[in-house]
């Protein structure tokens, strides 16, 4: 049994709500894969009369919190839905700002990811992203490929249906004469090799799956938080893990 509180020494105030939540968690039943639909950045900004991009900027801090708390809780895999294939319909300025924020995040956080043994990968139709974004992703993937403590996966230009289309086409290209089995699909998905998510979190109260990991969430527990993504920090993350353990 790991003493999870030990992993938070120096970052969590003793006696705080966070500390109490951590001490109540069962270290033997930590999910192996948590997936998050990060929603509500726009609403968060609107509530403050700010441009939408300020919601995304604040959302980066929540990304950092989710990564840090996952690593300290020894969650092996964390997948974040950052840009859906439908998100191209947003104004070009907003889309460009998202790429800039992603670049800033990767540049600033790469050394932290490396220091803590976190592998980084991107999933989705990555070849359709601007070349400078692809290059940034390649660098982060290459430099973290040997890390084994945790795996951070960011879904970009991602669509669960297109992921299945891509998988079926890959299987067809292989030209196998045998009927397609579940294991053929699992091994040709972008998430090949990853366990399916035990827990899917969605923020900002929406009760939808929004084309995210359609195949992989067949048996996942779903936790919807009313909190908007920029306000979803360590405490809210711990509450989600606690709710999962109570099921
Ligand atoms: C959803 O809020 C959020 C997004 C589509 C983008 C999430 C991106 C980030 C947090 C920043 C970049 C990512 C990384 C991984 C560094 P919304 O705009 O749909 O909000 P709304 O539903 O309130 O309009």
CA-nearest residue for atom 3, ligand 1, is 39
* Active site positions, annotated: 39, 87
The pLDDT assigned to 36 comes to 98
Tell me if 6 is assigned to some domain.
Answer: no
Tell me if 28 is assigned to some domain.
Answer: no
Q: What is the DSSP string of 22-66?
A: HHHS-GGG--SEEEEE---HHHHHHHTT--HHHHHHHHHHHHHHH
Ligand 1 centroid from CA 8, angstroms: 27
Pick the atom of ligand 1 nearest to 57's CA. 11
The pLDDT assigned to 31 comes to 98
Q: Which helix (H) or strand (E) holds 153?
A: strand 150-158
The pLDDT assigned to 1 comes to 57
Pick the atom of ligand 1 nearest to 52's CA. 18
Tell me if 117 is assigned to some domain.
Answer: yes
Tell me if 19 is assigned to some domain.
Answer: no
- The preferred substitution site among 82, 102, 122 for testing ligand 1, maximizing ligand atoms within 8 Å of CB, is 82
Tell me if 7 is assigned to some domain.
Answer: no
Question: Do the bridges between strand 199-202 and strand 221-224 make them parallel or antiparallel, or are there none, so unpaired?
Answer: parallel
Tell me if 158 is assigned to some domain.
Answer: yes
Tell me if 132 is assigned to some domain.
Answer: yes
Tokens 């700002």 belong to 97
Pocket of ligand 1 (CB under 6 A): 38-43, 56, 59-60, 63, 80, 82, 87, 98, 101-102, 105, 154
Distance of alpha carbon 189 from alpha carbon 74, whole angstroms: 25
Tell me if 1 is assigned to some domain.
Answer: no
Q: Which domain holds residue 69?
A: 33-246
The pLDDT assigned to 113 comes to 98
pLDDT less than 50: residues of the chain = none
CATH number of the structural domain spanning residue 162? 3.40.1180.10
- The preferred substitution site among 56, 122, 141, 158 for testing ligand 1, maximizing ligand atoms within 8 Å of CB, is 56
Which strands make up the sheet holding 118-123, listed edge to edge? 118-123, 150-158, 77-84, 33-37, 199-202, 221-224
Find, among 204, 165, 210, 209, the residue nearest to 188 by Cα: 165
Number of structural domains, the chain? 1
pTM over 0.95: yes
CA-nearest residue for atom 12, ligand 1, is 102
């Amino acid at each position: 049994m790991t003493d999870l509180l030990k992993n938070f020494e120096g970052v969590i105030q003793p006696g705080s709500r966070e500390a109490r939540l951590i001490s109540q968690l069962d270290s033997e039943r930590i999910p192996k894969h948590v997936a998050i639909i990060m929603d509500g950045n726009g609403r968060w900004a609107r509530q403050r009369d700010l441009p939408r991009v300020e919601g995304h900027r604040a959302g980066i801090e929540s990304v950092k919190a989710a990564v840090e708390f996952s690593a300290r809780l020894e969650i092996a895999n964390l997948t974040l839905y950052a840009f859906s294939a439908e998100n191209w319909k947003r104004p070009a300025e907003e889309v460009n700002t998202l790429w800039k924020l992603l670049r800033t995040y990767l540049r600033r956080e790469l050394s932290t990811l490396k220091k803590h043994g976190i592998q980084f990968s991107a999933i989705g139709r990555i070849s359709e992203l601007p070349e400078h974004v692809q290059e940034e992703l390649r660098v982060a993937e290459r430099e973290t490929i040997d890390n084994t403590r945790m795996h951070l996966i960011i879904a970009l230009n991602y669509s669960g249906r297109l992921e299945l289309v891509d998988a079926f086409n890959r299987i067809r290209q292989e030209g196998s004469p045998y009927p397609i089995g579940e294991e053929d699909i699992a091994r040709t998905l972008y998430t090949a090799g990853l366990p399916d998510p035990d827990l899917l979190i969605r923020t900002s109260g929406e009760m939808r799956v929004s084309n995210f990991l359609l195949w992989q969430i067949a048996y996942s527990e779903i936790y919807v938080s009313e909190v908007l993504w920029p306000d979803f920090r360590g405490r809210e993350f711990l509450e989600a893990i606690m709710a999962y353990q109570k099921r």
